[in-house]
């Protein structure tokens, strides 16, 4: 099994030293789903708290920018692009979330993409909880990443 990068020789948590890594364009795409009985209300724009999709999109973008404040060993890096898209399927009661993040830096943006999806999902739940207190976030995962030493990866 490969050695974990965020653990030193003594098993203690550490921030990875990326100073000697070359700067390269790095991208990541993550997805997730909110299952909710309020999907029809979201699609119709009739949720009492307002435009769920717009608010969740902005929340996801803001969250990506704050990832190193939330995930202790993440490097603060300049994000060059963050896009968060949400799609409502009233028939299945699902809100699909996708985040795409790009940087030109020494470390990847997988955690930023995951954070964007997670917070966008939390925002959907916050906005519909009066209508559907059972809404659930599922399947948050990295779908693909590109750039850096390890190159491209696709689920």
Q: Which residues are catalytic?
A: 126
Count Cβ atoms within 10 A of the Cβ of residue 75 and give its class: 0-12 exposed, 13-18 middle, 19 or more buried. middle
Enumerate the β-bridge partners of residue 87: 96
Structure tokens at 131: 């209508």
CA dihedral 101, 75, 24, 147 (to 10 degrees): -60
Alpha-carbon distance of 134 to 129, in angstroms, equals 7
């Amino acid at each position: 099994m490969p050695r974990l990068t965020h653990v030193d020789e003594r098993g203690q948590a550490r921030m990875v030293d990326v100073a000697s890594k070359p700067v390269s364009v790095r991208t990541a795409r993550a997805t997730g789903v909110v299952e909710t009985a309020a999907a029809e209300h979201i699609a119709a724009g009739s949720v009492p708290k307002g435009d769920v999709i717009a608010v969740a999109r902005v929340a996801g973008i803001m969250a990506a920018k704050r990832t190193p404040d939330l995930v202790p060993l993440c490097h603060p890096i300049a994000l060059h692009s963050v896009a968060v898209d949400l799609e409502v399927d009233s028939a299945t009661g699902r809100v699909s979330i996708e985040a795409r993040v790009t940087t030109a830096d020494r470390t990847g943006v997988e955690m930023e993409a995951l954070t964007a999806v997670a917070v966008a999902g939390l925002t959907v739940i916050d906005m519909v909880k009066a209508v559907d207190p059972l809404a659930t976030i599922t399947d948050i995962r990295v779908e693909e990443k590109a750039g850096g030493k390890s190159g491209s990866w696709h689920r």
